[in-house]
């Protein structure tokens, strides 16, 4: 079983006959990239056989796949970017979303989806092996972030926030965020995720999760109409949340706000609170605590109380010693504080008063 197919097509869209040049080529990636024993090397060998002058249509419907395989495919296809037009048929998730970025033009139906997240792997071993695996994954994450940033024109910090939040964009949102170029008419049937993909992804839109068909009821009863639920504000687009957080100086706050599907008012409120907490931490001499308090989601009043307590705990203790006339430490060159003798001070003051009298 192959996760891709490359066809040479004639002008009429039918397969080109042997011995005649093809008018264009069509590439379909409709499976998990790098799976079933079919590697990126197989794909690249067939791709490199396409004439340099040929136009290429790329059709993608994939949950993702192997990270390194997708990166290899991206870099090879990107060299032919000007000749490639990609279309997300239903879903380009994870590794597949990176492959799509290689096209010079990307088109998406309004109800197709692009999903961007941090790549992940399953690792086992001792602490040094796991640390090495984490270092490799960070490099892969950086490679993905660079690809998305180049395509969208966004800063790396914004892209990292979008990736960390596992962001799903429909066709309209993907174009608005700079990850696609054109919105097409909606598909007649909407895309759906496989059970394996639903288990792998954390924030798949409800529209992509197939609902079980309800069993028909044996009898029907008349019930009072259920009042319509109160309208809730639309969540702020993920890329706009990331931009707002980066501009405010709190890029790490973007991921939790995106996950919470915060609306614009909630995002503005949280950033205002973050700025106030930063000002409190700075005035308390503990600017390093601000980010921890913001990410913990505490209120401004709670942050003020914690900063006040921390500052009090670190304040120098009040001492009853007077260092001004202290003797010198014989083992060093620092003064040794001498404890005040309050009875001696009182007797001296009395003696002076008696002389004056």
* Tokens matching residue 185: 């008419």
- Report yes or no on 347 lying in a domain: no
**pLDDT per residue as tens digits for the range 168-203:** 999 999 999 999 999 998 766 555 555 555 545 555
For residue 308, tell me if it sits in a domain. no
Q: How far, in Å, CA of 85 to CA of 4, rounded?
A: 16
Task: Please check whether residue 268 lies inside any domain of the structure.
Answer: no
Higher pLDDT, 166 or 13: 166
| Residue 33: inside a domain | yes
For the chain, count helices (H), then strands (E): 13, 10
Q: Cα separation of 245 and 330, whole Å?
A: 58
In a domain, 167, yes or no: yes
Residue 310 domain-assigned (yes or no): no
| Mean pLDDT across 253-279 | 86
E-strand stretches of 45-83: 55-62
231 φ/ψ angles, rounded to the nearest 5 degrees:
-65, 135
Instruction: Tell me the CATH number at 156.
Output: 3.90.226.10
Range of the domain at 15: 4-125+132-208
Count the helix, strand and coil residues of the chain and give each as a percent rounded to the nearest 5. Answer: 45, 15, 40
**What's the domain count of the chain?**
1
The count of residues in the chain is 357
Q: Is residue 277 part of a domain?
A: no
Per-residue pLDDT tens over the stretch 20-72: 778 899 999 999 999 888 999 999 999 999 999 899 999 999 999 999 999 99
**Number of neighbours of residue 329 by Cβ within 10 angstroms:** 10
Q: Considering the entire predicted model, what is its pTM? A: 0.64
Q: Give yes or no for residue 216 having a pLDDT over 80.
A: no
pLDDT tens digits, 226-247: 666 666 788 888 888 888 888 8
In a domain, 97, yes or no: yes
């Amino acid at each position: 079983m192959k996760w891709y197919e490359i066809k040479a097509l004639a002008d009429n869209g039918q397969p080109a006959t042997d011995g005649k040049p093809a008018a264009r080529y069509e590439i379909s990636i409709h499976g998990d990239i790098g799976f079933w024993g079919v590697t990126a090397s197989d794909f690249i060998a067939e791709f490199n056989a396409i004439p340099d002058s040929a136009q290429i249509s790329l059709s993608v419907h994939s949950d993702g796949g192997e990270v390194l395989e997708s990166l290899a495919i991206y870099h090879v296809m990107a060299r032919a970017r000007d000749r490639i037009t990609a279309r997300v048929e239903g879903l380009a998730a994870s590794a597949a979303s990176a492959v799509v970025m290689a096209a010079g033009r990307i088109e998406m139906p309004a109800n197709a989806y692009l999903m961007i997240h941090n790549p992940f792997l399953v690792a086992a071993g001792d602490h040094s092996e796991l640390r090495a695996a984490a270092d490799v994954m960070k490099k892969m994450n950086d490679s993905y972030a660079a690809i998305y940033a180049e395509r969208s024109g966004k800063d790396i910090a914004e892209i990292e926030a979008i990736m960390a939040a596992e962001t799903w964009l429909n066709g309209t949102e993907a174009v608005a965020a700079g990850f696609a170029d054109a919105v097409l008419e909606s598909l007649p049937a909407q895309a759906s995720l496989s059970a394996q993909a639903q288990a792998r992804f954390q924030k798949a839109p409800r529209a992509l999760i197939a609902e079980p068909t309800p069993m028909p009821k044996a009898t029907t009863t008349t019930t009072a109409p259920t009042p319509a639920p109160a309208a809730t504000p639309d969540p702020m687009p993920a890329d706009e949340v990331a931009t707002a957080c980066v501009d405010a100086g709190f890029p790490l706050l973007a991921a939790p706000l995106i996950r919470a599907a915060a609306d614009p008012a909630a995002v503005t409120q949280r950033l205002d609170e973050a700025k106030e907490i930063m000002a409190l931490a700075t005035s308390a001499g503990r600017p390093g605590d601000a980010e921890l308090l913001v990410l913990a989601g505490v209120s401004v009043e709670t942050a003020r109380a914690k900063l006040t307590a921390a500052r009090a705990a670190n304040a120098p203790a009040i001492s009853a010693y007077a260092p001004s006339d202290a003797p010198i430490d014989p083992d060093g060159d620092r003064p040794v504080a001498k404890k005040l003798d309050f009875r001696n001070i009182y007797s001296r003051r009395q003696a002076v008063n008696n002389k004056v009298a």
